[in-house]
């Protein structure tokens, strides 16, 4: 198992390298020279076409295009049109793809086919262009030398030297010129006389930090003090679980644990699940540590990423806050690693390869650097829960296998109460079946409606949690029952409609396919299409109907796509430009907004029903985290949880915020079935454009694994599958999988990774996911 991990992790080194160290090239597309002189008339735009037509485009009927171009597919003619509209007829493929998707609603697969068609017909060519790696950014600085009493200085020159002296004898040339209204030539003459030197210095392009008010350490509560003492006393490797209920002040403990490290010249790494949660958190770190704080995430520009690396290589003590790949950051003298919201599944990368879990890598890294690792959460993952409990129990290994590592030193720290003994918000569970029986057909229960009404009267703010973005999760025909599906994937298309006059769209949440919403059923032409399942857009629409004075703000991946959007939207919400934040999963991650007193969970059921052994754990974590956004300030909070299955154990546990009993019950189930954390899983994922090839290969590999399986019980494994993946086809690729279930202390030797890969024909790709989270 370790070797499987290792084979893949070698590639991580490449992933983690800054762009400047990798030779990079990008694909460009240009018109063949004889095509530039002969532009064709633009084809008609593609208004109102259905999904099928986009997939199998017809030649442009009625267009004035002549000759060979009249027979191009829609994608191909759109590419040609874009190229011909430009001055040079030469664009990057990336840009063309963006334009195709934005202007013509053409998704990557047909776009690629269109391009191939154009190349085949000799109309365009594609070539690779070397990209210049980012360079350090240099800037000229002027500084005083010791020699400044040259007899032939003019009085103006003497004056300038005096001014420079007032800045500790050191300024950027640009600033000097501007502040003292002088010229570069004047400064150069001073240099010739030996009074100043002009030199190039590097400036680091770090993500510009917004101005934050500085902030001092808070005096800690008793449990915070205890937790901090334990952490600061650790000087070697150890795993620490900081289990603090939502709003218990975990972040304050992190801050105070880091402060003394920086003074000792050491650095700290803080890993967070997603960038959506980082603006608030980074602000809190910047308020405490100023420009010693850097961030590292996927939205940085190449220059920023490059310079963040150079900043780390300076060796100065610093705090790096980053998402999962930051676990590889080359920080100098690492003194502490913190993984906040450690239960969050975005710490796991399952594609592209290499697959890894930042928590595992962080553990290894902490061990290598011999520093403590702090895992923080209000709802620790069952994996961590078991690891910590085993580690803190002494010598409790009945039959240690030679291969499994000895339990590492671990500590369990608990912050059982909110700051200032604020209560956790009570959770009211509403049975939506009962609502229906009593004649309420709205998506809001009477209780939630009343709460929304009160919110307005009391001028407080609230959060509504919805499982899905978009308007409706699927569209179906009331006459024949037909459900509109994605042409590329085995999933239904979601209906999106943002504004009165905006186009009605159907969108695939897996491959991003978009088509216009048909007005009639594509199967039977019936006009009676009905929407099912509410997404964020639908909830906002309903709110606008029922509570016209409430100002809702949609907060999901549709509205936060652009850089900085999370920060902008949250700031506007905090400034009370809105009353209600309506959003998805994103809301669950660490928001700390004291004015929020109401949290409504519109339908908890969508969280519960996943064909996955982790479904309950994940649902429980999400519910507790969403609930935890309520009542974090002076006003007490409340939570209204709407569901069609109030008796479900997850709902019952969430109702009482009962982590302990939920965890015990869940662990018992896992143990019976040998699921993690009491067993290990390895998922073999196969995919191909060819349906039969992938199935045959899956069977072949399963056979191979079966042949390999040893007979003695301690090292054997169980093979589940081969079986089609839950959603068998995504973006036109057919997906099959084989799941291996191994005992924790298994000593089995699995077939060589490369050997298995060689068994696959070239049309089938194989990924091996050790300890998979998504199946
Ligand atoms: P958690 O990360 O556990 O959800 P936070 O660290 O966000 O909790 O703390 C919740 C709120 O309490 C924050 O606004 C924080 O500034 C405040 N806080 C934390 N510790 C203290 C303390 N010792 N005294 C006063 N306020 C505190
Ligand atoms: Zn129909
Ligand atoms: Zn799709």
DSSP H helices in 105-209:
108-120, 155-166, 173-179, 184-192
pLDDT at 622: 92
* Cα dihedral 125→128→132→133 (10° resolution): 140
pLDDT, tens digit (0-9, with 9 covering 90-100), for 564-590: 777 888 888 989 999 999 888 878 777
CB 251 less than 6 A from any atom of ligand 1: yes
Which of 18-22, 96-100, 292-296, 482-486 bottoms out in mean pLDDT, i.e. has the lowest? Answer: 18-22
List the structure tokens of 301.
Answer: 């520009």
Helix (H, G, I), strand (E, B) or coil at 565: helix
Helix (H, G, I), strand (E, B) or coil at 534: strand
pLDDT, tens digit (0-9, with 9 covering 90-100), for 136-189: 788 888 888 877 666 678 888 888 888 888 888 788 888 888 888 888 888 888
Mutation probe of ligand 1 site: the residue of 228, 249, 342, 589 with most atoms within 8 A of C-beta: 249
- Closest ligand 1 atom, residue 340 Cα: 2
What ipTM does the predicted assembly reach?
0.95
CB 224 less than 6 A from any atom of ligand 1: yes
pLDDT at 23: 54
Position 34 confidence tier, pLDDT thresholds 50, 70, 90: low
List the structure tokens of 149.
Answer: 């009493």
CB 221 less than 6 A from any atom of ligand 1: yes
List the structure tokens of 146.
Answer: 């010791």
Q: Which residues contact 415 (CB under 8 A, 6 or more apart)?
A: 221, 223, 224, 227, 242, 243, 244, 245, 248, 249, 250, 253
* DSSP assigned state of 644: S
- 637-656 in b/e form (b: 16+ CB < 10 A) is bbbbbbbeebebebbebbbe
Other beta carbons less than 10 A from residue 226's beta carbon: 15
pLDDT at 44: 39
Highest mean pLDDT among 49-63, 87-101, 509-523: 87-101
What is the 493 CA–ligand 2 centroid distance (Å)?
15
Q: Please, what is the angle between helix 108-120 and helix 93-104, to 10°?
A: 120
Q: Please, what is the angle between helix 108-120 and helix 74-85, to 10°?
A: 70
CB 593 less than 6 A from any atom of ligand 1: no
**Which residues are within 5 Å of ligand 3 (an ion), measured at CB?**
486, 488-489, 508, 510-511, 513
What is the 525 CA–ligand 2 centroid distance (Å)?
6
CB 247 less than 6 A from any atom of ligand 1: yes
What is the 540 CA–ligand 3 centroid distance (Å)?
25
Distance CA 759, CA 774 (A): 25
What is the 251 CA–ligand 1 centroid distance (Å)?
7
Helix (H, G, I), strand (E, B) or coil at 262: helix
CB 218 less than 6 A from any atom of ligand 1: yes
Position 331 confidence tier, pLDDT thresholds 50, 70, 90: confident
Place of tokens 């919201």: 341
pLDDT at 65: 38
Position 679 confidence tier, pLDDT thresholds 50, 70, 90: confident
Q: Give the CA count within 13 Å in the CB-facing half-sphere of 518.
A: 23
Span 286-304, mean pLDDT? 84
Mutation probe of ligand 1 site: the residue of 252, 279, 280, 342 with most atoms within 8 A of C-beta: 252
Span 58-76, mean pLDDT? 54
Other beta carbons less than 10 A from residue 566's beta carbon: 20
* Cα dihedral 15→20→22→23 (10° resolution): 150
* DSSP assigned state of 221: P
Phi, psi of 191 (to 5 degrees): -70, -40
Contact predicate 21/330, CB 8 Å: no
Highest mean pLDDT among 112-121, 407-416, 526-535: 112-121
pLDDT at 395: 37
92: nearest Cα among 47, 29, 164, 32: 29
pLDDT, tens digit (0-9, with 9 covering 90-100), for 724-752: 887 788 878 888 899 888 887 777 777 87
CB 112 less than 6 A from any atom of ligand 1: no
What is the 228 CA–ligand 1 centroid distance (Å)?
14
Residue 341 pLDDT greater than 70, yes or no: yes
CB 419 less than 6 A from any atom of ligand 1: yes
pLDDT, tens digit (0-9, with 9 covering 90-100), for 416-470: 988 888 888 999 999 988 888 888 888 899 999 999 998 888 888 999 998 776 6
Span 17-36, mean pLDDT? 67
Share of the chain above pLDDT 70, in %: 85
Nearest 5°: CA angle at 143, between 164 and 138?
120
List the structure tokens of 689.
Answer: 């454009």
The residues with which 84 forms a beta bridge, in sequence order, are none
Position 621 confidence tier, pLDDT thresholds 50, 70, 90: very high
Q: What is the CA radius of gyration of the chain?
A: 30
What is the 55 CA–ligand 3 centroid distance (Å)?
12
39: nearest Cα among 71, 73, 82: 82
CB 592 less than 6 A from any atom of ligand 1: yes
What is the 224 CA–ligand 1 centroid distance (Å)?
10
From atom 6 of ligand 1, which residue's Cα is the shortest distance away?
249
Mutation probe of ligand 1 site: the residue of 217, 250, 251 with most atoms within 8 A of C-beta: 251
From atom 13 of ligand 1, which residue's Cα is the shortest distance away?
249
Place of tokens 């956790």: 424
Place of tokens 């003619």: 77
Cis peptide, bond prior to residue 722, ω within 30 of zero = yes
Flag whether 524 is marked binding. Answer: yes
What is the 263 CA–ligand 1 centroid distance (Å)?
23
Residue 135 pLDDT greater than 90, yes or no: no
What is the 308 CA–ligand 1 centroid distance (Å)?
29
Flag whether 477 is marked binding. Answer: yes
- Cα 98 from chain centroid (whole Å): 21
* DSSP assigned state of 492: B
- Closest ligand 1 atom, residue 415 Cα: 3
From atom 17 of ligand 1, which residue's Cα is the shortest distance away?
249
Helix (H, G, I), strand (E, B) or coil at 29: strand
What is the 523 CA–ligand 2 centroid distance (Å)?
5
CB 246 less than 6 A from any atom of ligand 1: yes
Intra-chain end-to-end CA distance of the chain, in Å = 19
From atom 14 of ligand 1, which residue's Cα is the shortest distance away?
592
Position 624 confidence tier, pLDDT thresholds 50, 70, 90: very high
Mutation probe of ligand 1 site: the residue of 225, 244, 419 with most atoms within 8 A of C-beta: 419
3-state secondary structure 432-467: HHHHHHCCCCCCCCHHHHHHHHHHHHHCCEEEEECC
Span 349-374, mean pLDDT? 87
CB 248 less than 6 A from any atom of ligand 1: yes
What is the 496 CA–ligand 3 centroid distance (Å)?
15
Greatest Cα-to-Cα distance within the chain, rounded to the nearest angstrom: 99
CB 546 less than 6 A from any atom of ligand 1: no
pLDDT at 533: 66
CB 244 less than 6 A from any atom of ligand 1: yes
Share of the chain above pLDDT 90, in %: 23
From atom 4 of ligand 1, which residue's Cα is the shortest distance away?
247
Distance CA 294, CA 739 (A): 40
Distance CA 252, CA 246 (A): 13
342: nearest Cα among 378, 312, 395: 378
Contact predicate 702/721, CB 8 Å: yes
Distance CA 592, CA 632 (A): 7
- Closest ligand 1 atom, residue 224 Cα: 23
Ligand nearest, relative to CA of residue 421: 1
Query: Helices (H), strands (E): how many in the chain?
Result: 25, 30
List the structure tokens of 465.
Answer: 């949690």
Contact predicate 330/269, CB 8 Å: no
Contact predicate 269/338, CB 8 Å: yes
Q: In what order do the strands lie in the sheet with 529-534?
A: 514-516, 505-507, 494-496, 472-477, 529-534
pLDDT at 387: 86
Query: How far, in Å, are 314, 477, 658 from residue 17 at the CA level?
Result: 17, 51, 43
Q: Which residue has the higher pLDDT, 311 or 709?
A: 311
Give the DSSP H/E element, type plus range, for residue 696.
helix 691-708
From atom 10 of ligand 1, which residue's Cα is the shortest distance away?
247
Position 632 confidence tier, pLDDT thresholds 50, 70, 90: confident
Residue 229 pLDDT greater than 80, yes or no: yes
Flag whether 511 is marked binding. Answer: yes
CB 317 less than 6 A from any atom of ligand 1: no
The answer to pTM > 0.95 is: no
Extended beta strands in 323-467, E state? 334-340, 348-349, 356-357, 372-377, 410-415, 427-431, 461-465
From atom 21 of ligand 1, which residue's Cα is the shortest distance away?
249
pLDDT, tens digit (0-9, with 9 covering 90-100), for 642-658: 988 888 899 999 999 99
CB 250 less than 6 A from any atom of ligand 1: yes
Flag whether 508 is marked binding. Answer: yes
Span 367-374, mean pLDDT? 93
Contact predicate 338/268, CB 8 Å: yes
Position 408 confidence tier, pLDDT thresholds 50, 70, 90: low
CB 252 less than 6 A from any atom of ligand 1: yes
pLDDT at 167: 82
What is the 763 CA–ligand 3 centroid distance (Å)?
20
270: nearest Cα among 590, 563, 618: 590
Q: Give the CA count within 13 Å in the CB-facing half-sphere of 321.
A: 29
């Amino acid at each position: 198992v370790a070797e499987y991990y290792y084979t893949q992790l070698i590639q991580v080194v490449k992933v983690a390298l800054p762009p400047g160290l990798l030779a990079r090239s990008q694909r460009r597309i240009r018109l063949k020279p004889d095509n530039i002189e002969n532009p064709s008339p633009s084809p008609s735009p593609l208004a109102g076409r259905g999904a099928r037509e986009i997939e199998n485009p017809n030649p442009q009927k009625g267009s004035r295009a002549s000759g060979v171009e009249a027979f191009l597919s829609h994608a191909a003619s759109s590419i040609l049109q874009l190229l011909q509209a430009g001055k040079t007829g030469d664009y990057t493929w990336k840009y063309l793809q963006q334009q195709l998707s934005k202007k013509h609603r053409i998704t990557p697969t047909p776009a690629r086919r269109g391009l191939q068609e154009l190349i085949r017909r000799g109309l365009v060519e594609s070539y690779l262009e070397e990209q210049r790696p980012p360079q350090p950014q240099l800037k000229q600085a002027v500084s005083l030398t010791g020699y400044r009493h040259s007899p032939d200085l003019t009085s103006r020159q003497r004056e300038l030297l005096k001014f420079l002296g007032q800045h500790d004898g050191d300024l950027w040339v640009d600033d000097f010129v501007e502040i003292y209204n002088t010229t570069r030539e004047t400064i150069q003459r001073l240099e010739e006389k030996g009074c100043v030197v002009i030199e190039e210095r590097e400036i680091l392009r770090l993500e510009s930090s917004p101005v934050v008010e500085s902030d001092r350490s808070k005096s800690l509560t008793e449990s915070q003090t205890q937790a901090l003492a334990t952490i600061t006393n650790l000087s070697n490797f150890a795993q620490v679980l900081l289990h603090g209920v939502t709003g218990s002040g975990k972040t304050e403990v992190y801050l105070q644990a880091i402060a003394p490290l920086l003074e000792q010249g050491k650095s700290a790494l803080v890993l967070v699940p997603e960038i959506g949660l980082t603006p608030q958190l980074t602000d809190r770190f910047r308020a405490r540590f100023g420009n010693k704080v850097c961030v590292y995430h996927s939205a940085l520009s190449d220059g920023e990423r490059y310079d963040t690396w150079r900043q780390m290589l300076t060796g100065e003590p610093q705090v790096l806050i980053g998402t999962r790949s930051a676990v590889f950051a080359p920080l100098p003298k690492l003194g502490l690693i913190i993984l906040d919201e450690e239960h969050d599944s975005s710490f796991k990368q399952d594609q592209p390869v290499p697959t890894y879990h930042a928590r595992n890598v962080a553990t290894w890294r902490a061990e290598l650097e011999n520093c403590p690792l702090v895992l923080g959460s209000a709802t620790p993952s069952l994996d961590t829960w078991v690891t910590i409990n085993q580690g803190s129990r002494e010598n409790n290994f009945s039959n240690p296998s030679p291969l499994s590592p000895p339990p590492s030193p671990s500590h369990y720290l608990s912050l059982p109460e909110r700051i200032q003994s604020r209560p956790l918000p009570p959770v009211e569970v509403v049975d939506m079946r009962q609502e229906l029986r009593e004649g309420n057909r709205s998506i809001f229960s009477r209780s939630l409606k009343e709460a929304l009404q009160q919110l307005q009267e009391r001028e407080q703010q609230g959060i509504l949690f919805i499982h899905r973005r978009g308007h409706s999760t699927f569209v179906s025909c009331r006459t024949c029952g037909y459900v509109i599906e994605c042409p590329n994937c085995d999933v239904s298309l979601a209906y999106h409609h943002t504004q009165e006059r905006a186009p009605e769209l159907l969108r695939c949440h897996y491959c991003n396919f978009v088509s216009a919403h048909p007005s009639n059923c594509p199967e039977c032409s019936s006009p009676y299409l009905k929407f099912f399942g509410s997404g964020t857009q639908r909830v906002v629409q309903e709110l606008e109907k029922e509570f016209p004075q409430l100002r809702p703000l949609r907060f999901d991946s549709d509205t936060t796509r652009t850089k900085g959007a999370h920060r902008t939207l949250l700031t506007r919400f905090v400034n009370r430009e809105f009353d209600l934040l309506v959003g998805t999963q994103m809301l669950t991650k660490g928001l700390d907004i004291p004015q929020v007193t109401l949290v409504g969970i519109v339908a908890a059921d969508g969280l519960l029903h996943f064909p996955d052994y982790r479904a309950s754990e994940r649902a429980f974590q999400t519910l507790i985290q969403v609930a935890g956004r309520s009542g974090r300030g002076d006003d007490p909070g409340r939570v209204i949880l709407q569901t069609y299955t109030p008796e479900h154990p997850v709902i019952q546990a969430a109702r009482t915020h009962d982590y302990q009993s939920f965890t015990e019950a869940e662990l018992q189930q896992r143990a019976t079935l040998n699921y993690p954390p009491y067993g290990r899983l390895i998922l073999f994922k196969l995919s191909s454009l060819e349906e039969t090839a992938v199935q045959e290969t899956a069977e072949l590999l399963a056979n191979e694994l079966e042949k390999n399986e040893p007979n003695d019980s301690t090292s054997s494994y169980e093979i589940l599958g081969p079986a089609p993946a839950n959603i068998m086809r995504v973006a036109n690729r057919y997906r099959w999988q084989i799941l291996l279930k191994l005992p924790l202390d298994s000593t089995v030797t699995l077939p060589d990774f490369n050997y298995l890969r060689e068994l696959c024909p070239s049309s089938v790709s194989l990924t091996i996911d050790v300890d998979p989270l998504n199946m």
